Structure formats: structure tokens, C-alpha cells
Chains A and B, each alone.
Chain A
Amino acid sequence: RKEVEQDPGPFNVPEGATVAFNCTYSNSASQSFFWYRQDCRKEPKLLMSVYSSGNEDGRFTAQLNRASQYISLLIRDSKLSDSATYLCVVNIPGYALNFGKGTSLLVTP
């Protein structure tokens, strides 16, 4: 079983829509959680860290459910520029980070 699993999508949504991605992780000892964004043929970049109490950054909201071992990302009022692949990231024992395969989002006019 892959340690970090995501629905690959693609999610096609119109501008202005709200879209949510989920991610599950298998290692209950994981302590760090992130969402990264990757544009086509570019390097991944941090979108936001995920904290136990949930956190928000503008149109983006991240939630963590430790009991069920899943992480979510909600994007409100989608923009064309939000089109990208969103990577769920969890630390594995030690300091290495384990990346999900990513969820592809396409926002259309």
C-alpha cells in the first residue's frame, strides 16, 4: 500500500467554483503535513503547511484528521491560475518527506 494516496483526477472545474482534494496516509507516526503545488514541467513549491487545528491561507483551507489519517485541501473561488497538480506530503520516520502522486486540477473559463 502506497504511504500517501491521492485521487489523481483530473478535476475540471469552472472559474469561481469550490473544489476539494483529499489525501490519506498510512503511517500513524507521521508528524509533518504539507500541500505542495507543481506546475507543468516545474519544480514543486510549498502551497501551505497543514496544522492539527486546520489552517487557512486566503482562498485555501487545509484540514488534518489524525484519527482517520487524512488531509484535505479546499480551494474557494477557483482561478485559472490555480490549474496545477497538487501534491500531498507527509513525513516518514526520520526527516524524509513522502509525496503523493498528485491531483491534477484544471480550472476553465
Chain B
Amino acid sequence: NAGVTQTPKFQVLKTGQSMTLQCAQDMNHEYMSWYRQDPGMGLRLIHYSVGAGITDQGEVPNGYNVSRSTTEDFPLRLLSAAPSQTSVYFCASRPLAGRPRGGEQYFGPGTRLTVT
């Protein structure tokens, strides 16, 4: 199993550009999510999905779109990049069965994004 994979690892954008961060998992997890991590702010939830065709907003959704057409893939789109979106982005997945409210969450290696 590759687990959770993310591409690219690093990206530099200019203000106003758009791009898509890719995320894929091969563990057949129903739940997938995107976080951003900034110094002193911890991990903040951007969007999440509990299955194909179902997405919802997290704590900081503005400026980002997601879709979930398959169980495996959960891309994050930046519509018009801003310097405030400079951050490390982590994709994660977890099974919904098991323990109360689901099991262990697995993270991808992250994408380091800089917007100039």
C-alpha cells in the first residue's frame, strides 16, 4: 500500500494563479480531508468528505474548492492564490468503521506552497 500520496511536494505560485493539489489514497477509506498548517496555528481543517459525491466545509474553507468523484481521490483547488495561502497542506484519510466515530487518520507527506 502506498497509503496517502500528495503531489506536488513543493509549489511556488504567483498571486492570482490557480492550481490543484492532488491527493490519493489506496486504503479504501471513506473519509478524506485537507488541512493547512501554519506556524503557531496548528492544523486547521479546510474541507472534508465522507464519501464519493459528498463534501463539506471545515474551519477555513474560503479560497478553496474540493470535489470527490471517486473513493481514492480528493483534489484541493486554489481558485485565485493569495499570499495568505502560503502554508503546508496535508491531505488525510481515515476509515469510518471501527472505534466510536472512526479509526486512525493517515496523513500524506504534505505540499509546501508559497504564494508570492
Which residues of A are interface residues toward B (Cβ below 8 A)?
A: 31-32, 34, 42-46, 49, 87, 89, 91, 94-102
Contacts and interface: CB of A to CB of B under 8 A. Distances in A.
Given A44-B43, A99-B42, A101-B40, A49 B33 contact: no
A95 B96 contact: yes
29 contacts: A32-B100, A34-B104, A34-B105, A42-B109, A43-B107, A43-B108, A44-B107, A46-B104, A46-B105, A46-B106, A49-B99, A49-B104, A91-B100, A91-B102, A94-B50, A94-B101, A95-B31, A95-B48, A95-B50, A95-B102, A96-B33, A96-B45, A96-B48, A97-B33, A97-B45, A99-B35, A100-B42, A101-B40, A101-B41
Given A91-B101, A95-B94, A101-B42, 7 more contacts: A34-B104, A34-B105, A42-B110, A45-B107, A49-B104, A94-B56, A99-B43
